[in-house]
């Protein structure tokens, strides 16, 4: 897990946390699912083409109301 601290214009945000999770043996896992019939050939092709077995999540909290233009209510 990596924590990124906000600075300057982002100081109203809490620490931003980035988490990367995945499968280091992605190709074997994909072929195992395909052989087991858990996923179709088309699904396997789409997963192979568009993903690498990893997911990135970024999370943070803005502690003040987001109003970049300084507009009134």
Tell me how many degrees the CA angle 10-11-17 measures, rounded to the nearest 5: 75
pLDDT in tens, 38-65: 999 999 999 888 888 888 888 777 666 6
The pLDDT assigned to 19 comes to 82
Spatial CA neighbour of 15 closest among 30, 5, 27, 29: 5
Helix (H, G, I), strand (E, B) or coil at 11: coil
0.85 cut: is pTM over it?
no
Q: Is 19 helix (H, G, I), strand (E, B) or coil?
A: strand
């Amino acid at each position: 897990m990596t924590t990124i601290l906000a600075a300057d214009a982002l100081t109203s945000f809490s620490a931003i946390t980035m988490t990367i999770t995945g499968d280091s043996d992605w190709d074997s896992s994909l072929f195992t699912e395909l052989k087991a019939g858990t996923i179709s050939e088309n699904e396997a092709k789409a997963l192979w083409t568009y993903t690498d077995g990893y997911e990135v999540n970024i999370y943070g909290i803005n502690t003040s109301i987001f109003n970049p233009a300084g507009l009134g209510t």
